[in-house]
Structure 1
């Protein structure tokens, strides 16, 4: 059954779809009265809806059934310094959603190239990837925040950096459900020391030196499959 995303699903037996969704359901997909589809809010609510009035601007649907799902396990939280080129972040968001990441936070680091970030485009990418991958939950996206504040409020995990020293594989981390990825100029020594103070462990992501967005995607794949 085809799946649609609706951030706020009304708590009523019948309701009208927003104009954009109505147009897609009726004009593009040519749904008619009696046809059914799924509505997801990205937080675990799944509603089976049936077309009552196939109006192309305000399609009326009725609720056939509801199901509220819970996430399996703790999920994976990626914290990353955004690249100067936002297209690269969009690519990464699409991929980590597909493989099952649950949350992403953006970090303002000492060597960050981007200190402002609009999340609208990334949110649209995440929604599209969620529907494509047929996931029930939407990736939680947090605003850009100071690195020191983040590690203080979110202790424990892995920090991937390019400096010399002992590093663990993702599978060896005490807490591999959260990994920090730095900017293209890497974390500073001060930032690494601060993260270690807050329970993070140095981690490597393989033999190659990876681009920021590639490192984020690889960290997600390794952590989820650990």
Structure 2
């Protein structure tokens, strides 16, 4: 349809939207943290990196040229990652809203809290969410490597491609490490809850036997 070349205006509008989105998320999470939320600091740093990448991507040259299909290779890779990131964010939002609603209803959380730690339930959702996150993080690192490769072999040698490639690899590594930490925390909390429940069962059985 576009002879392998994406039109400039829609791409730039989407990149501007990403900049607005991650700026809003970073501001929101800083406000949450200032009000006592237990959100991990990495996720705020991640949004700073994403803000920088969206801003840098706005300066990419994507106008139609004889070799625009090659020059837009970095843009296309970036957009593929952004689309996958959006899908993962929708899944995360759905999971977090359900878990936080449950905790607020039980009186175990406030609206300023975020979902991690004690919210170890909903195994079915976690079985879907965590594989999607790990796949996204792997794809994120893969896109970062491809961007660096396209820059180093001379296909697209602009500084924007190199910078975005480095940022993607940093974000992928940080996201993977913090996702694993969250998973370990949830597993420990779930095991602790099971131990506490078994102790309560033993205590309730003891009076019954003595009577």
Would you call these one fold, judging by a TM-score over 0.5?
Answer: no
Structure (1/2) with the larger helix percentage:
2
Report 1 or 2 for greater relative contact order, CA contacts < 8 Å, sequence distance ≥ 6.
2
TM-score normalised to structure 2 length? 0.20
Q: Which has the larger radius of gyration?
A: 2
TM-score normalised to structure 1 length? 0.19
Structure (1/2) with the larger strand percentage:
1
